[in-house]
Amino acid sequence: MKSWVKVTIMSVLGLASIFVAQTVFAASNPIGQAYSELGSSGVYRPTPVKANTTTSFDIFLKPNNLQEFFQQAMDVNTPDNLQFKNYLTPSDIQSKYGQPSTVTNSWKSYLKKNHLRTLVYDNGIQLTVTGKVKYIDKTFHVNMNTATYHSNPLQFGSKKPNIPSKLANTVWTVLGMTDHNRNYVMPNSNMPLVKKGNDYSFSGFTNRFVNQYDVQPLYDQGMTGKGQTIGIIAFGNIKKSNAYHFWKHENASTDMHRLTTKVIPGDMYKGNLVSLDEGETTMDVEYAGSVAPQANVRIYWVRSPYPTVMNMINAYATALNENKASSLSTSWGLFGSSYLNLLVRHKVLSSKYLDVLNFVLAQSAIQGVSSFVASGDTGALNFDVKGIAGNHLLMDRSINGNLPFDANPWITSTGGTTLPFDGNLPTKGNEKSLGKVTISSERSWGTDYI
């Protein structure tokens, strides 16, 4: 979710990440360009894979007692409930709700015989499989560049793979096998409202958040994040020196051990666009570590510039499997339900994607991990994809659409405010001003002040 209001707040951990966003304007005549591009967006298509390309996909095994699992996630977070704060570890989840180690080990052994490596998550539900395309194609009787979903959860081509039934019967669904299909389209901008040009930002340091939301009493009680780890899920990396420079300026801890990065297993979507110095990740990390000045910050970095369902789920699953972060925050997100359902209709996204997402986010709740997500980029009228026309996606705005993260009961959607500011909005190169803007009090998200 590329944010473009002046100052956006994301609260994490009570003290957690504040997101000071950049305002994006077109190079010239931004208002005219914005309205001319409301109806469509260009298309990104995945890079084709070759026989010796190494890629990944996920196998999700059937959980046991799923209704009980969701109920327990609710109970451990409900005051006055006997289970309140009786959080589970990933291994506890496997013993109560996952497949036993005999099943996961059998899968690992079978895939190894087919030259594929398997990461088994401790919850006994998820397997991330990695290997060369030629071995994946042979094992599953498929061409990954044309793979589609069928009613059989392990079938992606014209033939079913010859996988032992004792293993096949344990499968819930598979994600990522079809992510290289050319029909797995994605808008070429996460913010179709305006064409990207220069980025302009206004000053906004930690004290603005502290003063606006009365954080000082928490500091006075010693609540500075000490002993906690804030997890930042990101689709771009940062230059760590930038974060430490900012933290020094904000009088936050500059302990060189407080910022770490974990690379997430997954596939690559438009790898040539991966950023090693991403502005949004930098701001997320800087403000998470300054609002909570003594907390550790751990980046869960997906080395892909655009979130696919598999990559997003893997980021959460990896963080939960580590069980280090007490809160997780992301300002990225997936497009709305109509877009994802379009992918389902094109058979390049599993129809069970939402079930898996619900399970993983409920796992965060059952482990006592607070999860937060940015509330969106375009206000109440969500942008969404309604169809495909050649190399363009047909866009629309609707109050009836929903974003799968924002609408999820196991996550807190935050942000969507603009703090008071007074300033001129410039055009390219600061050649002239578009006009003075005065926001006298905190207001709802939106750039209609343009």
Question: Would you place residue 347 in the very low, low, confident or very high pLDDT band (cuts 50, 70, 90)?
Answer: very high
Residue-wise burial string across 42-51, b where 16 or more C-beta atoms lie within 10 A, e elsewhere: ebbbbeebee
Q: What tens digit of pLDDT does each residue of 383-393 get?
A: 778 888 888 88
Listed as own residue / partner, the contacts of 261-264 with beta carbons closer than 8 Å and 24 or more positions apart are: 261/237, 261/298, 261/299, 261/301, 262/298, 262/299, 262/300, 262/301, 262/318, 262/319, 262/322, 263/301, 263/303, 264/300, 264/301, 264/302, 264/303, 264/311, 264/314, 264/315, 264/318
- pLDDT classification of 438: cutoffs 50, 70, 90: confident
Question: Per residue in 186-244, pLDDT tens?
Answer: 887 644 333 343 344 445 589 888 988 899 999 999 999 999 999 999 988 899 999 99
- Per the CB < 8 A criterion, the answer to whether 294 and 226 are in contact is yes
Rounded average pLDDT over 34-49: 74
Instruction: Judge whether 16 and 372 are in contact, CB under 8 Å.
Output: yes
Answer yes or no: is pLDDT of 10 > 70: no
* pLDDT for residue 28: 45
**3-class secondary structure, 97:** helix
- The residue among 307, 276, 296 whose CA lies nearest residue 374 is 307
Burial class (CB in 10 A: 0-12, 13-18, 19+), 77: middle
* CA atoms of 125 and 370, how far apart (whole Å): 21
Residue 31 clears pLDDT 60, i.e. is over it: no
What φ, ψ does residue 207 adopt, rounded to 5°?
A: -65, -25
Structure confidence at residue 200 (pLDDT): 40
pLDDT 10s digits, 152-172: 999 999 999 999 999 999 999
* Token representation of residue 242: 């930038």
Go through the chain and tell me how many residues it has.
450
> Whose CA is closest to 392, among 192, 233, 241, 227?
192
Q: What is the pLDDT of residue 104?
A: 98
Tokens of 311: 């990559």
What mean pLDDT do residues 249-260 have? Answer: 94
Least confident of 98-112, 152-166, 429-443: 429-443
Residue 449 pLDDT class (50, 70, 90 cuts)? low
- Give percent above pLDDT 70 in the chain: 81
Q: What is the mean pLDDT of residues 249-268?
A: 90
Task: Yes or no: say if 151 and 142 are a contact pair by the CB < 8 Å rule.
Answer: no
- How confident is the model at residue 192, as a pLDDT? 38
Q: Has residue 320 got a pLDDT over 50? A: yes
Cα–Cα distance measured from residue 220 to residue 352, given in angstroms and rounded to the nearest whole number:
47
Inform me whether the pLDDT recorded for 2 exceeds 50: no
Contact 374, 1 (CB under 8 A): yes
Region of poorest pLDDT, from 76-80, 85-89, 391-395:
391-395
Question: What is the structure's pLDDT at 350?
Answer: 97
CA-based nearest residue to 41, from 310, 266, 378: 378
**How high does pLDDT run on average in the chain?**
84
